[in-house]
Chain A
Amino acid sequence: MGRNPVTWLGSPVFPKAAHTALADTQLRANLRKATTTIRDKRASAVAELADWEELRRAGEAIKDDVLANLDTYLLRLEESVTARGGVVHWARDAEEANRIVLDLAREHGADEVVKVKSMATAEIGLNEALEAGGIRAVETDLAELIVQLGRDRPSHILVPAIHRNRAEIREIFRREMSEAPVSDDPRELAEAARRHLRRKFLSARVAVSGANFAVADTGSIVVVESEGNGRMCLTLPQTLITVMGIEKLVPSWRDLEVFLQLLPRSSTAERMNPYTSVWTGVTPGDGPSRFHLVLLDNGRTATLADEVGRQALRCIRCSACLNVCPVYERTGGQAYGSVYPGPIGAILAPQLADDPSDEQAASLPYASSLCGACYEVCPVRINIPQALTHLRAKVVRNKGGRNPEALAMAAAAWVFADPRRFEAAQRAGSLSRLLTGAGPIGRLPWPGSKWTATRDAPSLPKESFRLWWRRNRG
């Protein structure tokens, strides 16, 4: 098995990547503006529903049932898709999935495929794999197209080009399109993209999509989107290949009711998303005449085995957690070095990568202040802070006990294990350094220097509280 491309090869550990991102003032301004707007809109869209908490719990329960009975539901899905004329493929990892799609595209004589925005195909690096096989993949989602034309990397689940502003986008279009936009007015930019894509839609024979949901009972695949470009891909080409993670299932048609309320309000703050496309196998004379479904594992079964970590697989990729995350707001998505950035990325990417030697992945669970804003907004109640601390414990176990941090933690635990030692440490002043990485105000040696670079440290009191208590009350 090859390396799982869910984390980008050569990405630095999070603090290093953050250092670069934090220095980019344009990036920070773009991000702050975008996240603040969507945050406020989401809050009011959610406040409209009196039963939001019940919906969240229903979403959580349905997904937990899916995860607990994944094998049964997957077989049911395969059966129903096949019965309706679709073909199901199983892919253990990225390499297998890419190979399947490449072979199918070749088989149908395509040298270009149009794509509906899809996290799963980004996760496996499908575009690059197709490119290497001589097939061009054309992203048709506006934001995804901007990233593709800018030879850039995505920085958001829903709005991959969130880190770009209008002027930057116009510049990219001017460079890459035969008919460049005349101004950076959003309508002009959208129009330029539309003209650019129109030709692609009409000539493409093969389309590749992801899936937001798949209904096990009926074999129906659901894609929700805002622009309608996806719908063109889903109806015009003769062959449709859908790549989806095995956790994207819901048992029955009825369950969709819950998610079609949770998803749009959480992601775009809309009551209902503009385009919901559903297809079930093939229908003669209507839409694609060939349908292939690639079911992707790529680390998911391993994730499922972890009792605490598996809740990440409930994720419906709404991106609400990114939009409220104070760390994401400052660093942007690329600092996470994965197609899954932000709080969900911090718990999902290291689990899918499943590689204890990957230091970049191991830095992700620490890319959080554990403020809990992500958990509060998550429509399927993924307790991200809980998963983060759980994964940190895993990182610590993998590292073993022979590094400065582990030694400091062991020393602190030894001190806290006995109040007499605790008191002695307080008297010696050494504990304050352990607790805060600091001592008296001023400059401190490492790691305290990381504190005092930007913050004064409290000065040590003349006596600790316990000494005072003993003197006065004991």
Chain B
Amino acid sequence: MSNPRVALFATCLTDTLYPETAKAVVRLLERLGCTVDFPLEQTCCGQLHFNTGYADEARSLAHRYAEVFEGYDYVVAPSGSCAGMVRETHPGLCGSSVPVERTFELSEFLVDVLGVTDVGAYFPHRVTYHPTCHSLRMLGVGEKPLRLLRQVRGLELVELPQAEQCCGFGGTFALKNAETSTAMLADKMRCVQDTGAQVVTAGDNSCLMHISGGLSRLRTGVRGIHLAEILASTEEQPWVATP
């Protein structure tokens, strides 16, 4: 496929708090020959509202999404839960199917649409991968992120015990049921630490915000880094921590 026109859906969380992830997606996709656009009219997929019980608010955000992304070949989001929200929930909310069918989570887009698993990345660290629930169950991305990570030069991939257990984030669940959320996080952190990895990665900054928030509070020295940033990292332009 030559020069597919891709719109980046950064998601409200990544746009606001994790700009490095969105930059990494742009860098990665352009390196792979895509033409990337970032429609500035985008805001949020409505997941925050929908999952908390505010369906009307979510509905108008779903409409906005459909309008903003209508004309693109593909929409790529560095978030399994937002891509899942669009694909699974938007049709029922606003009936629009055009951008919905063309919305992909990053690893799906790379493997299924572009057909690559070796993206030419270099990342010399010991890494473990947490398959976030919505990527895993709603989208069924399966092994795709692992296939991508296995091709990264210098990267030592270590298996996460009980990987499929929820990390306990769950959007507003993390606040409404903060103690249960923290109990789930504690177990997830123990599994991460058992691997001896320096980095835990995932396809979703929301879960990573929760996991690395916990790891940082405990001063574990383990860092959460989004999959996109690892895949964008090369020998010429290695990943650097943002201050």
Contact = CB atoms under 8 A, between A and B. Distances in A.
Contact of A419 (B43, B49, B182, B184): B43
Interface string A455-474: 11110110111101110011
Interface string A9-36: 0000011001100100000100000000
Contacts, number: 193
B99 interface: no
B16 A366 contact: no
A473 B179 contact: no
A61 interface: no
Contacts of B173: 366, 368-370
Interface stretch (A46-54, A256-264, A272-280, A406-414): A406-414
A464 B61 contact: no
Interface in A368-397: 368-373, 375-376, 389, 392-396
B61 A413 contact: yes
Interface in B22-49: 22-23, 38, 40-44, 46, 48-49
30 contacts: A15-B179, A18-B180, A327-B177, A331-B180, A367-B177, A368-B170, A371-B137, A371-B166, A372-B134, A372-B136, A375-B137, A389-B50, A396-B52, A409-B54, A413-B61, A417-B43, A419-B42, A422-B44, A431-B16, A450-B174, A450-B175, A454-B214, A455-B182, A455-B214, A456-B212, A456-B214, A461-B242, A465-B23, A469-B40, A470-B40
Q: What 5 A-B pairs come out closest when comparing CB atoms?
A: A369-B170, A392-B53, A455-B213, A371-B166, A465-B19
Interface stretch (A97-105, A295-303, A432-440): A432-440
A104 to B, nearest CB: 43
Given A371-B166, A436-B209, A330 B184 contact: yes
Contact of A14 (B55, B171, B177): B177
B126 interface: no
B38 A370 contact: no
A416 interface: yes
Interface of B: 10, 12-20, 22-23, 38, 40-44, 46, 48-55, 57, 60-61, 64, 133-134, 136-138, 164-166, 168-185, 209-210, 212-214, 216-217, 242
A366 B176 contact: yes
Given A405-B52, A455-B214, A327 B15 contact: no
A372 B138 CA distance: 8
Contacts of B169: 369
B17 A435 contact: yes
B17 A466 contact: no
Contact of A458 (B64, B180, B213): B213
A225 B50 CA distance: 40
A451 interface: yes
Given A453-B178, A458-B18, A461-B18, A393 B53 contact: yes
Given A369-B168, A373-B137, A470-B40, A409 B57 contact: yes
B178 A451 contact: yes
